[in-house]
Amino acid sequence: MVCSTSCSSPCYTLGFLQKNNSLGEEGRLSGALSERQKNLFTCENSDRDVRFRRTETDFSNMFARDLLPAKNGEEATIQFLLELVDILTNYIRKTFDRSTKVLDFHHPHQLLEGMEGFNLELSDQPESLEQILVDCRDTLKYGVRTGHPRFFNQLSTGLDIIGLAGEWLTSTANTNMFTYEIAPVFVLMEQLTLKKMREMIGWPSGEGDGIFSPGGAISNMYSVMIARYKYFPDVKTKGMSAAPRLVLFTSEHSHYSIKKAGAALGFGSENVVLLSTDERGRVIPSDLEAKILDVKQKGYHPLFVNATAGSTVYGAFDPINEIADICEKYNMWLHVDGAWGGGLLMSRKHRHKFSGVERANSVTWNPHKMMGVPLQCSAILVREKGILSGCNSMCAGYLFQPDKQYDVSFDTGDKAIQCGRHVDIFKFWLMWKAKGTIGFEQHIDRCLDLSQYLYEKIRNREGYEMVFQGVPQHTNVCFWYIPPSLRGMDPNSQEYREKLHKVAPKIKALMMESGTTMVGYQPQGQKVNFFRMVISNPAALQSDIDFLIDEIERLGHGL
């Protein structure tokens, strides 16, 4: 049994006694409390923990109003939560069980019509707790098991148990990151974790700034905002008219959030210039320089370059050092979007792909992708201290009072564009504690090895064609599956292209309907629909990769 260091030995005994004394007691099934338990429940010493046990509880006549803070609501509350935990632990068990489906697919209209008593409509009157528990079960039943060993559909996959525990605790604590006052421990965890991340980036002594934001798109948006503030601080007060026409540069393979940021922040998406890439999807530095010169020639101001470290589709790493040289030459802000690639900074074997990242002005890094932290967990890291606050602070008096009794430099909320901010740090901090840096490293290396296994398996296999040649830089393996009916056709013919374009969507639809596995597909530029396999799932084994390939062939063979 685990005791906190402040827990005295009577606590241990108490828990132990209660446990051995539990199920034989009369009156438990009816929900009544024994005298011993009543004593335990009213125990006022907050360092003594009570161990609760499941009882058979009839929830059909119980309602939310019977739970805490209702008078005598404690037992009902505990039993309700334990019943829910039973549902959740069963779900977790099945998630890792390869004999269960990844999903049980239904069309929107089917779910909207109501499935066997699962009714999504809301009403004026309350439902019983029994119905609520059934709804919880059904919600999971008709969802997608993103932690299943054969779920490869997104950059974020897997179900990390420590991270999950962190999220359960976070939601129980239910607080907000804006001040030290109401989130003292979490604010400090964020500060220490951001510092560790900056050390890994290579900024001297881990100095700098940063914040966790609701996803990589918002982190990238931050980078554009602070770049603008750095060079044209008057825009904060006077608007875009206080600056010349500002231009942002990013790869044609980069994430669409840079363009979204350009549109949202008032630059205009046309002022986001897309850079050409080589056949592996990496920015060509000379193209960047040519486009900067072109923009300058037109009298516009080149402000910002985004270098992608791990592109969404190809997993490509732009050459950061060469881009940094150009940014220095033209006095531009260098942002590195490592939303997907960031985890590789934790791997001694793979971090060379980030070579030059320490020269960046800002970096996006999403632990919720490659590192398996539950959604959401994204950091924007900034080399210059104070600039986030300078860019965003509005000094709201009701929240950030200067006359508090503690060091208010720990009230970090005014750096954010949000006011309330969800606690995204705890699960990540807890995972780092539980795995150590080496645990993350092992996970990263394993995923990259698996991805190379897939690459080696299919690169010369009949019926497969790689979208780009060579070992992938990240875990992205992009390929076409060519059904027998298309093999031998002229690959440059329009007919072939049209037919091939339909193969991946068709196989994907069949996959979802059979529920066996999930993998993404998309076109890219002139290339017709292809599969993009990514591996971030810690549950995936070589046998799951084999399964995926078998499944693609099973479903696609007859197309």
Q: 427 to 446, contacts with its own copies by CB under 8 A?
A: 429-439
Provide the token pair at 170: 């976070």
Work out how close the CB of 380 gets to its own copies at its nearest, in angstroms, rounded to a whole number: 13
Member of 117, 299, 488, 558 binding its own copies (CB under 8 A): 117
- Report how far residue 36's alpha carbon sits from residue 444's, in angstroms, rounded to the nearest whole number: 50
Calculate the dihedral angle through the C-alpha atoms of 74, 170, 217, 330, rounding to the nearest 10 degrees: 160
- Nearest CA-CA partner of 536 in 280, 197, 163: 163
- H-only helix segments in 46-103: 74-95
The DSSP result for 321-386, as a single string, is HHHHHHHHHTT-EEEEEETTTGGGGG-TTTGGGGTTGGG-SEEEE-TTSTT-PPSP-EEEEESSTT
Confirm if 523 and 470 have CB atoms less than 8 A apart. no
Tell whether residue 559 is a contact of its own copies (CB under 8 A): no
Work out how close the CB of 329 gets to its own copies at its nearest, in angstroms, rounded to a whole number: 25
Member of 9, 26, 61, 174 binding its own copies (CB under 8 A): 174
Member of 14, 37, 150, 180 binding its own copies (CB under 8 A): 180
Q: 447 to 476, contacts with its own copies by CB under 8 A?
A: none
The answer to whether the peptide bond before residue 10 is cis (omega within 30 degrees of 0) is no
How many chain residues interact with its own copies (CB under 8 A)?
A: 207
Work out how close the CB of 273 gets to its own copies at its nearest, in angstroms, rounded to a whole number: 13
Member of 17, 25, 31, 94 binding its own copies (CB under 8 A): 94
Q: 182 to 211, contacts with its own copies by CB under 8 A?
A: 182-186, 188-189, 192-193, 196
- Report how far residue 87's alpha carbon sits from residue 144's, in angstroms, rounded to the nearest whole number: 16
Contact track, its own copies, 222-261, x by CB under 8 A? ---x---------xxxxxxxx--x---------xxx-xx-
Angle at alpha carbon of residue 548, lines to 542 and 553, rounded to 5°: 130
Tell whether residue 546 is a contact of its own copies (CB under 8 A): no
Burial of 558 (C-beta count, 10 Å sphere; 0-12/13-18/19+):
exposed
- Report how far residue 389's alpha carbon sits from residue 423's, in angstroms, rounded to the nearest whole number: 19
Q: 119 to 158, contacts with its own copies by CB under 8 A?
A: 120-127, 129-144, 146-147, 149, 153-154, 156
Tell whether residue 335 is a contact of its own copies (CB under 8 A): no
Member of 481, 521, 531, 547 binding its own copies (CB under 8 A): 521
Residue 500 CB neighbours (<10 A)? 21
Tell whether residue 418 is a contact of its own copies (CB under 8 A): yes
Tell whether residue 268 is a contact of its own copies (CB under 8 A): yes
Nearer to its own copies, 197 or 320 (CB): 197
Work out how close the CB of 95 gets to its own copies at its nearest, in angstroms, rounded to a whole number: 8
Member of 31, 33, 34, 263 binding its own copies (CB under 8 A): 263
- Report how far residue 307's alpha carbon sits from residue 285's, in angstroms, rounded to the nearest whole number: 10
Provide the token pair at 424: 């995204």
Tell whether residue 298 is a contact of its own copies (CB under 8 A): no
Confirm if 399 and 178 have CB atoms less than 8 A apart. yes
Member of 305, 474, 532, 536 binding its own copies (CB under 8 A): 532
Tell whether residue 10 is a contact of its own copies (CB under 8 A): no
Nearer to its own copies, 325 or 439 (CB): 439
Nearer to its own copies, 267 or 479 (CB): 267
Confirm if 295 and 305 have CB atoms less than 8 A apart. no
Q: 344 to 403, contacts with its own copies by CB under 8 A?
A: 366, 368, 374-376, 378, 392, 394-399, 401, 403
Nearer to its own copies, 130 or 553 (CB): 130
Tell whether residue 284 is a contact of its own copies (CB under 8 A): no
Confirm if 201 and 363 have CB atoms less than 8 A apart. yes
